Amino acid sequence: MTKQPKWIIQGKSIKQLIKELESFEDQNLLVELSFDDGETSKPISLVSKIDGKCMLLNCENSTE
């Protein structure tokens, strides 16, 4: 089994993420989240603080 590089598993801080997003020329692009290297994606419904972490949430399967 190949060991994954540190950048894949360590995550990003809010500051790091904002810096990367600011590098995009088109600041109106829709932001989505993928768990399979971009094969499929889901829109971010909410950004929340949960258990001391910033969480990007997709709420498509939530019940009201």
User: Over the stretch 15-40, which tens digit does the pLDDT of each residue have?
Assistant: 999 999 999 999 999 999 999 999 99
Q: Which two tokens stand for residue 27?
A: 């600041």
Q: Which residue has the tokens 């603080």?
A: 49
**Is the pLDDT reported for residue 1 higher than 80?**
no
Q: Which residue has the tokens 């971009």?
A: 38
Band the pLDDT of 6: cuts 50, 70, 90. confident
Band the pLDDT of 60: cuts 50, 70, 90. very high
Band the pLDDT of 7: cuts 50, 70, 90. confident
Q: Is 47 helix (H, G, I), strand (E, B) or coil?
A: strand
CB-CB neighbours of 31 under 10 Å: 12
Q: Are 31 and 47 in contact (CB under 8 A)?
A: no
pTM of the complete model: 0.76
Task: Report the C-alpha gap between 21 and 1 in whole angstroms.
Answer: 32
